[in-house]
Amino acid sequence: MSIFHYKRFFMASIIPERLLQSIKRIAELEQPAYEALVQVLEKLSPALTRDEFAENASKTLSTIPPKDLQEILTSILVLYRVKDKKGLSNEDISQKAVESLSHAKNEEIKISEEKQPVLKDRIKKLLSFDASVGVTAKALDVMTDQDRVFCNARILSDIRPVFTTSLESASAAVIVHTLRIGFHQDDKHQDFYFALDGSDLKALKEIILRAEKKTKALEAILEKSNTKCLKV
């Protein structure tokens, strides 16, 4: 493979294959539906998650089915992140998206030559809304830029008997709580387990209440500075 063709292949391959079908939907939108989407994104507030962003858009956009809209917006948000991380321009990323669909192995995903300039222009336009698409695309990255990202938690409680010399009956018992914290690391789900007693539960509760008070104080600071606070 020549250097020229290798470069074209590499740049095209930066577009995740799982997005190709939803990217193709952008080209297939009827012009009135596409124009309505543009108008919504011009006015839409940013959100912390893709689902929330799509849900907010669907409230004022009836020309695109909610499921299709969610897939389209997800693809645009991912393309924005790829563009940002690779240091590409809107022209570059839209061209790579077109090339990816043009060279797709699945014939159902490929687009016609007639649709290629339409798709390129539409992607360039949809990636230009930094205040809505851009902030949403970057927000989750900023929030989850950690080695481990919290996923879920659960506390399991049980009674454990204490035996001394006699094994016929317990001399005493203790209540033990097991805190399980689920997290994501390197795209894998993992769990940590911690043994807790009553005093530990009280300490955790106080820490959480203190964090909630800090949240309100920080929200007030942001409000005074007219900085939008994104929430789930």
pLDDT tens, position by position, 84-111 = 888 999 999 999 999 888 887 788 888 8
Report the helix count and the strand count for the chain, using DSSP H and E: 9, 3
* CA-based nearest residue to 138, from 27, 230, 1: 230
Q: Which residues of the chain have pLDDT under 70?
A: 1-13, 187, 232
Q: Which two tokens stand for residue 203?
A: 């300490």
Q: What's the pLDDT score for residue 231? A: 76
Q: What's the pLDDT score for residue 75? A: 93
Are 92 and 82 in contact by the 8 Å Cβ rule? The answer is: no
Q: What's the pLDDT score for residue 103? A: 81
Q: What are the start-end ranges of the E strands in 104-187?
A: 149-162, 172-185
pLDDT tens, position by position, 213-229 = 999 999 999 889 988 88
Q: How far apart are CA 93 and CA 69, in angstroms?
A: 20
In one letter, which amino acid is 104? A
